[in-house]
Amino acid sequence: MLDLITNFLASDFRTATPILLAAIGLVYGQRAGIVNIGAEGMMLTGALAAVVGSFWFGSAWAGALLAMFSALLISLIFAYLTISVRADQVVVGTAINILGLGLTTSFARVIFGVNTAPPKIDAFEPIAVPVLSKIPLIGPVLFQQNALVYVALIVVPIAYFILFKTDIGLKIRAVGEHPKAADTVGINVYRVRYGSVMVSGLFSGLAGAYVSLGLLSFFTENMVAGRGFIALAAVIFGKYNPVGALGASLLFGAGEALQYRLQASGTDIPFQFLLMVPYILTILALCGFVGKSQAPAASGQPYVKE
């Protein structure tokens, strides 16, 4: 029984990590008043870039860096159109998603060819932390994961601290709640928003790298499979807070982990219903099983400096 729980929780942390990584970045965007539904496309871009980077340079870390860089570039397009041009954030986000799908599907085909066996690439393998990984339950769940899982877990408290305990965090939150007031006290609204979108781009890219180099070790078309949107839901469900996002990600990750578990155990339930679980869970969570979550007041609103 303990084995079962241990396995399930370890698997939960693995499936929650890409959602968590993206959600941490999205919390910053949201707090600054930016609804970034383009996270899915940014993750997808990151997923391919990571594989390409690992393929070219022979290192998963190089892949992760290239992923973050590519997603950062995409996020700059998003930032320019939504912040400077003041175009609708949802529309631009949708365009980013379509762009991500188009770029990754085409370039994957051009770089790796059609119908060829995927090349062997360096992926993120589990690293057992000495001593700690030997602790029952906690060891396998928290200390026998791959490096990006550790990165995500370490970043959560840091992201929390920056957002709620520092000047920068205060500025970000002010811009999201009341950009005009923030402007009046001398905060550069545009700069803060650009920065927040770039943060969400970097983390989306890393999340994408995790999907292609942490969960699998290759790129397949549209492989992010809605995790960018689920991350957005995790931000709302987690009340726009990195720690809350961790809890929400673990919940949504549990849906996916449960699906793997049930499939492996050879249940009679058709696998398609199991595949639906994460999405249904996301809808249920959004429907407010834990009370209302209040978005920042200026969420989705472009800011016009007068």
Applying CB under 8 A, which residues contact other proteins? Answer: 35, 37, 77, 81, 85-88, 90-92, 94-99, 101-103, 105-107, 109-110, 225-226, 229-230, 232-233, 236, 270, 272-273, 275-276, 279-280, 282-283, 286-288, 292
Please state the closest distance from residue 64 (CB atom) to other proteins, in A. Answer: 23
* Tally of CA atoms within 13 A in the half-sphere of 263 that contains its CB: 13
Distance of alpha carbon 234 from alpha carbon 227, whole angstroms: 10
For residue 120, the 8-state DSSP code is P
Residue 37 beta carbon to other proteins: minimum distance, rounded to whole angstroms: 6
Q: Which residues contact 69 (CB under 8 A, 6 or more apart)?
A: 49, 205
Q: What is the CA radius of gyration of the chain?
A: 19
Q: Judged by CB, which is closer to other proteins: 106, or 263?
A: 106
Residue in the structure block whose two tokens are 């602790």: 135
Least distance from other proteins to the Cβ atom of residue 153, Å: 25
DSSP letter string, 55-97: HHHS-HHHHHHHHHHHHHHHHHHHHIIIIIS---HHHHHHHHH
Q: Could you tell me the smallest distance in angstroms from the CB atom of residue 79 to other proteins? A: 13
At closest approach, how far in Å is the CB of 273 from other proteins? 7
Least distance (Å) between residue 242 CB and other proteins: 19
Q: Quick check: 45 and 187 in contact, CB under 8 A?
A: no
Q: Which is nearer to other proteins, 186 or 270 (CB)?
A: 270
Asked if residue 54 lies in contact with residue 46, where contact means CB atoms within 8 angstroms, the answer is no
Q: Which is nearer to other proteins, 86 or 134 (CB)?
A: 86
Nearer to other proteins, 59 or 106 (CB): 106
Q: Which is nearer to other proteins, 169 or 302 (CB)?
A: 302
Which is closer to other proteins, CB of 37 or CB of 148? 37
Gap between the Cα atoms of 227 and 170, Å rounded = 29
**Phi/psi of residue 278, nearest 5 degrees:** -60, -35
Find the shortest distance in angstroms from Cβ 4 to other proteins.
26
Closest alpha carbon to 199 in 19, 17, 34: 34
Q: Report the distance separating Cα 20 and Cα 153, nearest Å.
A: 9
Task: Choose between 115 and 136: whose C-beta lies nearer to other proteins.
Answer: 115
